Amino acid sequence: MTTVAGRVVSWFSGLGGTASDGLPVRLGGQGPSRSASAPVRLSGVDQALIWVTVALLVWGLVMVYSASVAMPDNPKFSRYAHTHFLLRHALSLGVAFVVALLAFQVPVATWEKLAPWLFIASLALLMLVLIPFVGKGVNGARRWISLGFMNFQPSELAKFAVLLYAADYMVRKMEVKERFFRAVMPMAVAIGIVGLLLLAEPDMGAFMVISVIAMGILFLGGVNARMFFVIATVVVIAFGLMVMLSDWRRERIFAYLDPWSDKYSMGKGYQLSHSLIAFGRGEVFGVGLGGSIEKLHWLPEAHTDFLLAVIGEEFGLLGVLCVIGAFMWMTRRIMHIGRQSIALDRLFAGLVAQGVGIWIGFQAFINMGVNLGALPTKGLTLPLMSYGGSAILMNLISLAVVLRIDYENRLLMRGGRA
């Protein structure tokens, strides 16, 4: 990680001065101009956002190792080395870092042109994963396509693709945003198709995140408030019906309401009850790095969905508050970059940045709520920190796009052109 950090420093230390974080004061004036299509170095971007991201990635790497180091003692994972998950997670970080650097070089205008094609590609992959012997199934869910060195989860690409498509759609439909059917129905049909494919896996958590991303972009794009609340009501009713009409989803809700009961404590309430025990053991200052008891085959998926519980046990309340604070700051900063783009009359870029903020903020909120027992159990990872190659890859690509948006904003404010 020292080498990676050194590269980050060399990439991010370009200009001697930094552009103002405030809203623009002049546009199109005389000044240095640089073509957006030319290769760029990360000069003048938001370095605080970069370092918060790096801190979460490094902390996540340490915690993935801590949470998974004892897994080979379980007969199910006996063929793995103690560093198996650490090395695979480090490899995922390396691949994601390289791809993110390449994604940063792509101008925002190119992402706008690619948005419909990425959406179509994500639909194709969501269909491909359902084909027997192509999609890889784990615990009854078929969500992954094996690439050899990593398992790719098409739903993670779908989050990014829907984000770009929704932003592009709103830019194209600005003149009809007051007309419900012409403005909303085509987007609703597109999200409905994605939802059907995700529910077939099944992956209701990813569908929930995608729905919130799309609704957030519709709202921020200026859709009529009454129209938005109608959509929100329909979505809430739809998710409620999905839960009521599914026995195992209904059981999850009952287990969430009373995880300590005899009926659920050793079944669907098992993860939640042991997650709460982990937080209880951590108290304020934690038991120390590596000292978790719950990760020793008591808490399932400790290195993925329930990584925050291990953080709570080993670093206590202070550690959990640091994680919450980091994600709150990151979400606020990304939303600020989006508002700045809109002030510069770059609507697509602004909606994309704010969509990324909604994505990371909402998914982190859901994961934390599940770990803390405030929300029913869902299969969503903690962004940037949990084990999962495709999730880390798409998180870093989306943040690279946000940094590119910030770079072009600052270029415009210095009198250049994006």
Instruction: Compute the Cα dihedral for 230, 208, 160, 155 and give only its sign.
Output: negative
The 10 Å CB-count burial string (b at 16+, else e) for 199-218 is eebbbbbbbbbbbbbbbbbb
The angle formed by the CA atoms of residues 195, 332 and 322, to the nearest 5 degrees, is 100
| 22 compared with 60, residue with greater pLDDT | 60
DSSP conformation letters of 374-399:
SS-----PPTTTSS-HHHHHHHHHHH
User: Which residues contact residue 106 at a Cβ distance below 8 angstroms, ignoring those fewer than 6 apart?
Assistant: 401, 404
**pLDDT band for position 80 (cuts 50, 70, 90):** confident
- Distances in whole angstroms, Cα of residue 243 to Cα of each of 36, 204, 247, 381: 47, 10, 8, 21
How many other β-carbons are positioned within 10 Å of the β-carbon of residue 265? 16
In sequence order, the β-bridge partners of residue 148 are none
Q: Which of 26-40, 97-111, 161-175 has the highest mean pLDDT?
A: 97-111
Cα gap 177→262, rounded to integer Å: 52
The angle formed by the CA atoms of residues 321, 163 and 97, to the nearest 5 degrees, is 65
| 37 compared with 403, residue with greater pLDDT | 403
* pLDDT surpasses 80 at 139: no
Closest CA to 270 of 278, 280, 260: 260
Peptide bond into 202 cis (omega under 30): yes
**pLDDT band for position 178 (cuts 50, 70, 90):** low
* pLDDT surpasses 90 at 93: yes
Cα gap 118→113, rounded to integer Å: 10
pLDDT in tens, 203-252: 888 888 999 998 888 888 777 677 777 778 878 888 888 878 777 778 88
Cα gap 78→71, rounded to integer Å: 8
User: In the chain, pLDDT over 70 holds for what percent of residues?
Assistant: 85
**pLDDT band for position 416 (cuts 50, 70, 90):** low
Instruction: Compute the Cα dihedral for 390, 392, 396, 399 and give only its sign.
Output: positive
Cα gap 249→272, rounded to integer Å: 15
Q: Which of 79-83, 246-250, 308-312 has the highest mean pLDDT?
A: 308-312
Contact 400, 111 (CB under 8 A): no
**pLDDT given for residue 179 in this prediction:** 63
Q: Point out the least confidently predicted range of 21-35, 128-142, 264-278.
A: 21-35
- The position carrying tokens 């194209």 is 172
Q: What radius of gyration, in Å, describes the C-alpha atoms of the chain?
A: 22
* pLDDT surpasses 90 at 189: no
Residue 217 main-chain phi, psi, to 5 deg: -70, -40
| 308 compared with 221, residue with greater pLDDT | 308
**pLDDT given for residue 117 in this prediction:** 95
Measured in whole angstroms, how far is the alpha carbon of residue 67 from the centre of its chain? 21
pLDDT in tens, 273-300: 999 999 999 999 999 999 999 998 888 8
Using a 10 angstrom Cβ sphere, with 0-12 exposed, 13-18 middle and 19 or more buried, the burial of residue 415 is: middle
In this prediction the pTM is 0.84
The 10 Å CB-count burial string (b at 16+, else e) for 142-154 is bbbbeeeebbbbb
pLDDT in tens, 319-376: 999 999 999 999 999 999 999 999 999 999 999 999 999 999 999 999 999 999 888 8
DSSP state of 22: S
DSSP state of 189: H
Structure tokens at 244: 């009521």
How many other β-carbons are positioned within 10 Å of the β-carbon of residue 358? 24
Contact 76, 64 (CB under 8 A): no
**pLDDT given for residue 10 in this prediction:** 45
pLDDT in tens, 248-267: 778 888 888 888 887 777 77
**3-class DSSP assignment, residue 335:** helix
| 35 compared with 80, residue with greater pLDDT | 80
How does the average pLDDT of the chain come out, rounded? Answer: 83
Cα gap 276→258, rounded to integer Å: 12
